[in-house]
């Protein structure tokens, strides 16, 4: 029995390492061009499953009270690693699972802000920049009714400058900023997988200041787990503070 328990302990340690490698290294491998998207996406759920099995194994070993050649602290470390890589991705994804399967979000669904400088960067992107029209607008309105045009008390050129400062603070890569045209374009790349979403901010003169609209579009994927709406919401909150 001791040998069996010791074997389970070593299996748990190696499986914890494998699960962590699949969950953590595969997305980074895709981001840095080492691994294609398909295998990287497949590796994550496989790694999570291995981690969950590992977690069960480590609990059996720890609660069994048998000798552990691998060392109790090593087995506990394997259990913690398995819990993180097996459960944490689920916790991260849960808030976005109820999001609609759309990836083009804007505060103005009637006349969405248009991209210019970003267009060339999306030459090979699967997702188009052509807006989906009334059907897309209806889905967005039902899911994100709070997203709307922001009115700020500064002229468009100044609003663009504030937008640039906020975008920079949020870690976006500024592609173009034209105060005279009332437009800012930027890209935001996720840490995991390196998915890139593109953003355009439009500022138009209005009574007492400017009307600011934002559009955020994913380059790949049918849905976005609510990422574009969350990005716009956070940006508008910070821009309102910066322009007050």
pLDDT exceeds 70 at position 215 = yes
Q: Give 44-75 pLDDT, tens digit per residue.
A: 899 999 999 999 888 887 787 655 555 678 88
Q: Give 119-159 pLDDT, tens digit per residue.
A: 999 999 999 999 999 999 999 999 999 999 999 999 999 99
pLDDT at 69: 57
Task: Give me the percent of the chain exceeding a pLDDT of 70.
Answer: 93
Predicted model pTM: 0.81
DSSP string, the chain: -HHHHHHHHHHHHHHHHHHHIIIIIHHHHHHTTSS-HHHHHHHHHHHHHHHHHHHHHHHHHHHHT---TT-HHHHHHHHHHHHHHHHHHHHHHGGGTTS-S--EEES-SSSPPPPSTTGGGGTT-SS-SS--HHHHHHHHHHH-TT--PEEESS-HHHHHHHHHHHHHHTTPEEEEEETTTTEEEEEEE-SSTT-EEEEEEEEEEETTEEEEEEEEEESS-S--TTHHHHHHHHHHHHHHHHT-
Of 27-41, 166-180, 192-206, least confident by mean pLDDT is: 27-41
Question: What mean pLDDT is predicted for residues 12-17?
Answer: 88
């Amino acid at each position: 029995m001791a040998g069996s328990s010791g074997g389970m302990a070593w299996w748990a340690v190696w499986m914890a390492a494998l699960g962590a490698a699949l969950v953590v290294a595969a997305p980074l491998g895709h981001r840095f061009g080492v691994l294609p998207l398909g295998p990287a996406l497949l590796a994550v759920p496989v790694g999570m499953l291995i981690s969950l099995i590992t977690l069960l194994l480590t609990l059996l070993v720890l609660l069994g009270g048998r000798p552990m050649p691998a060392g109790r602290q090593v087995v506990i470390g394997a259990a913690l690693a398995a819990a993180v890589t097996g459960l944490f991705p689920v916790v991260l994804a849960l808030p976005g699972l109820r999001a609609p399967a759309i990836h083009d979000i804007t505060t103005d669904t009637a006349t969405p802000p248009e991209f210019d400088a970003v267009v060339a960067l999306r030459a090979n992107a699967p997702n188009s920049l052509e807006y989906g029209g009334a059907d897309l607008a209806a889905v967005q309105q039902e899911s994100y009714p709070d997203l709307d045009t922001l009115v700020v008390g500064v002229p468009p050129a100044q609003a663009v400058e504030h937008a640039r400062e906020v975008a920079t603070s949020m870690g976006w890569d500024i592609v173009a900023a034209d105060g005279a045209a009332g437009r800012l374009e930027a890209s935001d790349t996720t840490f995991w997988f390196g998915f890139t979403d593109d953003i355009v901010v439009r500022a138009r003169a209005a009574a007492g200041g400017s009307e600011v609209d934002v559009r955020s579009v994913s380059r790949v994927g049918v849905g976005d787990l609510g990422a574009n709406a969350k990005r716009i919401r956070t940006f508008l909150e910070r821009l309102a503070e910066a322009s007050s």
